[in-house]
């Protein structure tokens, strides 16, 4: 393993480079002359980087690429070098360092942090996470999982997300920026292109980029997906997350045309739409992060159709609202008779977080012809409990949706009075086994449900 270190680190960031899609990644080759003056590159070993990390004072905060771009190799170096540190990752996957002395921090809990007693959960919409890093949780070290250098830049590939903001926040306080440069990481454009002068250390690591396999569609997901697809208007701007139900929705749209993608993330379902000619060829596929199959990553590599933007742009409700007919589909663990959705807690256990759900619900409602959908199975088979409850036992992740859709039907929510909303949810979304109970509990809440 080789490490490249730049001798002189430039001052705080003054800008973020966004590469026009037609440039196919020909990003800026250098910064201003005064920033380049005196800079050199030299190769050092990973062991030398560990010594640099070990010299950091106190208990540094380390912010790393999340989701399926977790930079495991450099995180192992950090783990070996630092007796104590704070680790901030969005949707952290299994395999991250885990021991006494490491405190986890995140606004969105992944399988690598879920249930950990050393976890500090920060409730925060995804669009506001960059402000969280700037105002409340400034990073001392930022670790990127990037492509190898190309045209004076590295590309953040499948995970742009909050990382440009993390770089800015770290450099504003003299922190370190480290890139784990991997030939397996696809080169993507837009805000994903990070000039080399914004990076202090670059480590070349050749390892597979983590994949997210798509399972075979099940009957319930297929049913829900078909119901949702019938609600999608022509030439809609689509935002769908990951999972069996979003995948089923996309499969049910393969006969449509003129769709646009403006989303916080996408996976193989979008690739299927592209192959089938369902997407508007004049509009880039815009997102902040992605994960899926090796085929998806190969297709994304140096593809001018794919534009990866920082999350402040993709998830800004004002920016979302500028797109026509935004159709937003998000999941939930529970919904209640007031039309509130919970996607954060399973019982009293923290499960995930707000993510981008409230950003896109608000943005979709302000979009001309926009709609926001919560999709979920009506019954939790393992626990034998209803996913529709009288009132949420925990804080809501989002509310005021257009529709709540389950395998039982489509419940219209927005534009109805509260009693009609609740009646629609009981009659059309709730599992038949739960409807009598929900009617009884609804009456106790002052709703004259039939």
Answer whether 425's CB lies under 8 Å from 335's CB.
Answer: yes
Distance CA 129, CA 123 (A): 9
Phi, psi (degrees; rounded to nearest 5) at 238: -95, 140
Phi, psi (degrees; rounded to nearest 5) at 316: -70, 115
pLDDT 10s digit of each residue in the chain, 450 long? Answer: 444 433 333 332 222 323 333 333 333 323 332 333 234 333 457 888 899 999 999 999 999 999 999 999 999 999 999 999 999 999 999 999 999 999 999 999 999 999 999 999 999 999 999 999 999 999 999 999 999 999 999 999 999 999 999 999 999 999 999 999 999 999 999 999 999 999 999 999 999 999 998 888 899 999 999 999 999 999 999 999 778 899 999 999 999 999 999 999 999 999 999 999 999 999 999 999 999 999 999 999 999 999 999 999 999 999 999 999 999 999 999 999 999 999 999 988 999 999 999 999 999 999 999 999 999 999 998 889 999 999 999 999 999 999 999 999 999 999 999 999 999 999 999 999 999 999 999 999 999 999
Residues 21-58, buried b or exposed e (16+ Cβ, 10 A)? Answer: beeebebeeebeeebeeeeeeeeeebeebbebbeebee
Q: Can you give the pTM of this predicted structure?
A: 0.89
Q: Which two tokens stand for residue 305?
A: 């159709």
Q: Which two tokens stand for residue 293?
A: 């199959």
Contacts of 275 (CB under 8 A, 6+ apart): none
Answer whether 74's CB lies under 8 Å from 143's CB.
Answer: yes
159, 168, 264, 274: which one is catalytic? 264
The pLDDT, as a whole number, for residue 44 is: 59
The pLDDT, as a whole number, for residue 45 is: 74
Phi, psi (degrees; rounded to nearest 5) at 322: -75, -15
Domains of the chain by range and CATH?
2-204 (3.40.1080.10), 219-444 (3.40.1080.20)
Rg (CA), the chain: 23
| Element containing residue 274 per DSSP (H, E) | helix 268-275
Coil, strand or helix at 298: helix
- Residues facing 121 on adjacent strands: 106
Residue of 428, 434, 439 lying closest to 405 (CA atoms)? 428
Q: Which two tokens stand for residue 257?
A: 């045309």
Residue of 202, 241, 213, 245 lying closest to 226 (CA atoms)? 245
The pLDDT, as a whole number, for residue 213 is: 85
Q: Which two tokens stand for residue 402?
A: 């257009």
The pLDDT, as a whole number, for residue 49 is: 86
CA distances from residue 17 to 189, 268, 284, 333, 339 in whole angstroms, order as listed:
10, 27, 18, 38, 41
Give catalytic status of residue 264 as yes or no.
yes
């Amino acid at each position: 393993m080789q490490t490249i270190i730049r001798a002189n680190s430039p001052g705080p960031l003054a800008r973020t480079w966004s590469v026009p899609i037609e440039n196919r990644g020909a990003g800026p080759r250098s910064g201003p002359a005064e920033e380049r003056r005196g800079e050199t590159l030299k190769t050092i070993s990973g062991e030398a980087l560990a010594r640099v990390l070990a010299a950091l004072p106190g208990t540094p905060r380390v912010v790393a690429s999340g989701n399926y771009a977790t930079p495991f190799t450099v995180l192992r170096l950090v783990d070996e070098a630092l007796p104590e540190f704070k680790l901030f990752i969005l949707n952290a996957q299994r395999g991250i360092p885990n021991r006494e002395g490491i405190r986890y921090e995140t606004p969105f809990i992944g399988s690598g942090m879920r249930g950990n007693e050393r976890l500090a959960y920060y409730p925060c919409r995804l669009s506001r996470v960059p402000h969280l890093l700037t105002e409340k949780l400034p990073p001392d070290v930022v670790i990127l999982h990037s492509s190898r250098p190309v045209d004076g830049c590295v590309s953040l590939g499948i995970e742009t997300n909050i990382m440009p903001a993390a770089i800015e926040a770290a450099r504003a306080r003299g922190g370190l920026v480290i890139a784990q440069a991997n030939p397996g990481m696809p080169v993507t454009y837009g805000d994903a292109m990070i000039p080399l002068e914004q990076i202090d250390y670059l480590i070349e690591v050749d390892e597979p980029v983590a994949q997210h396999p798509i399972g075979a569609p099940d009957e319930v997901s297929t049913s829900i997906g078909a119901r949702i697809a019938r609600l999608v208007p022509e030439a809609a701007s689509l935002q769908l997350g990951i999972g069996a139900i979003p995948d089923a929705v996309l499969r049910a749209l393969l006969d449509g045309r003129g769709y646009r993608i403006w989303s916080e993330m996408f996976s193989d379902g979008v690739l299927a739409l592209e192959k089938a000619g369902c997407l508007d060829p004049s509009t880039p596929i815009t997102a902040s992060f992605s994960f899926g199959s090796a085929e998806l990553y190969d297709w994304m590599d140096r593809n001018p159709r794919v534009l990866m933007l920082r999350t402040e742009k993709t998830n800004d409700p004002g920016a979302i609202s500028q797109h026509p007919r935004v159709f937003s589909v998000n999941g939930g663990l529970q919904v209640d008779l007031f039309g509130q959705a919970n996607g954060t807690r399973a019982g009293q256990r923290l499960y995930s977080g707000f993510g981008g759900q409230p950003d896109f619900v608000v943005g979709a409602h302000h979009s001309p012809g926009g709609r926001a959908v919560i999709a979920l199975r009506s019954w939790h088979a393992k626990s034998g409990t209803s996913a529709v409850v009288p009132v949420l036992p925990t804080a809501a992740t989002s509310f005021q949706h257009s529709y709540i859709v389950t395998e039982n039907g489509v419940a219209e929510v927005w534009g109805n009075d509260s009693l009609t909303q609740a009646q629609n949810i009981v009659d059309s979304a709730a599992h038949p086994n739960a409807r009598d109970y929900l009617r009884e509990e609804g009456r106790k809440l002052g709703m004259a449900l039939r």
